[in-house]
Amino acid sequence: MAWPCGRIVSEAVDGRHSSNWGWYMSKEVRRVPKQDRARRSVAAILDATAELLGEEATPITMSAIGERAGISKAAIYRYFPDQTAVIHELAVRYLGELDGHLEAELGAVQSVDEVVVALSRVVDLFHDLMREEPAMRRIWLGGANSVVVSELIAQAAHKIAVQIHGVLAPHLRDEHEINLVRVELMVYMARGAVEMALNEPGTPVMREFKRSLILMAGVADDRTIEMIEALGSPVAAPAESPD
């Protein structure tokens, strides 16, 4: 699955982005762009910030963002008070996109078997986003060194847990009943599993994590474990050794 940041940002700025997160332009934004030129400027600012975040050695400053976007610092300050606000808004856009994909994966769940499939797909979705968008990986896993952004990610993790719990709970009753705290633990474990998988390519981290998930959900047996194995898991290729 591709996660082209430019498309995510441009669609949001053009007003075509939709999600139930309740965020459009976040409270960190000084001015909502209304004209096409202003929207394109904000999209360029966010795209440039995503590129810089993907280059971990590059400091994120208003000057660096402006230089990469081809926009003056004064123009950036019209919309954002500082670089943290820019990163916060970029995170909001990624989370809105993630929310839409989660809804698509979870919305059709009607049985325990479909719970297993949905959990597997959600894990793959999260893994692919972190792998294909280095900026979101840096934001989600480290908060981009910002308390404000870290708080946003914590809120997002809770909301994702509520969303998943709301779908799973009706299909996991009696001995399989699952509570919100357990689902929140699953979300935070997913964060660690994805980070480990990306840092240790070529290892079966995601497969083992999926097995752990269905154990936590209380639906692990020989049949569901076979289902997880059959569904497969993303395994990044290890880096090639230099000749």
CA distances from 199 to 60, 130, 139, 166, 237 (A): 23, 11, 16, 32, 11
Q: Tokens for 182?
A: 């357990």
AA identity, residue 159? K
Instruction: Supply the pLDDT for residue 30.
Output: 58
pLDDT band at 6 (very low <50, low <70, confident <90, very high): very low
Flag whether pLDDT at 15 surpasses 50: no
Domain boundaries, the chain: 5-231
pLDDT band at 239 (very low <50, low <70, confident <90, very high): very low
Could you tell me what percent of the chain has a pLDDT over 90?
A: 14
Q: Give the pLDDT confidence of 29-74 residue by residue, as tens digits.
A: 656 666 788 788 899 999 999 999 988 777 889 999 999 999 999 9
Instruction: Supply the pLDDT for residue 144.
Output: 63
For residues 203 and 24, give the distance between their C-alpha atoms in angstroms, rounded to a whole number.
Answer: 38
Q: Are 135 and 5 in contact (CB under 8 A)?
A: yes
Please provide the DSSP assignment of 184-238 as one string.
HHHHHHHHHHHHHHHHSTTS-HHHHHHHHHHHHTT--SHHHHHHHHHH----PPP
Instruction: Supply the pLDDT for residue 69.
Output: 95
The CATH topology of domain 5-231 is: Tetracycline Repressor; domain 2 (1.10.357)
Flag whether pLDDT at 207 surpasses 60: yes
Q: Give the pLDDT confidence of 160-180 residue by residue, as tens digits.
A: 899 888 888 887 766 667 788
Flag whether pLDDT at 238 surpasses 80: no
